[in-house]
Amino acid sequence: MMMFTCLAVGSEEYKYDLTNNSVKENYTVNVSWPELESNKTGLIEQFAYKTTNYVGWLAMSGSKYFVEYGYSHPEYDFKFGMDLAIFSMYAIIFSVLFFPIIIMCSLIYLGITHLRSKLKEKKEEKKNGN
């Protein structure tokens, strides 16, 4: 989703710059990830800071690349990719909500059939006992 968003942002920025006659050679040259400094001495704190730095740098670099690509290739239409990403997101949400409902209905069905069999056994015991 982030990839298609960055591609669309780059493409739209190029179209905006084209209308204002200010097209740039390298659009994201001034964007960088600020390195977090850690003064923690614990192993877990250092690991958390280094992981945060890496994930942040990775997201920033990916965003810069995709914005640059969208900026340098405005002729591509990224709407299909955005529609695909939104459809995928809806499919994930539907599956996350749908499967627990199916499992819950199955458990209710099994509970009702078990209760019916127990009530049937008690009824037969009562009938045979009298």
Q: pTM for this structure?
A: 0.49
Backbone angles phi, psi at 75, to 5 degrees: -75, -20
Helix/strand/coil for 1: coil
Residue from 104, 103, 123, 127 nearest 115 by CA: 123
Residue 67 CB coordination number (10 Å): 22
Helix/strand/coil for 60: helix
Each of the 130 residues of the chain gets a pLDDT tens digit; together they read 677 777 777 777 777 777 777 766 666 656 666 666 667 677 888 888 888 888 888 888 888 888 777 777 777 777 777 777 788 889 888 888 888 889 999 999 999 999 999 999 988 888 886 5
Which parts of 34-123 are beta strand (E)?
none
Q: Would you give the distance in Å from CA 39 to the centre of its chain?
A: 32
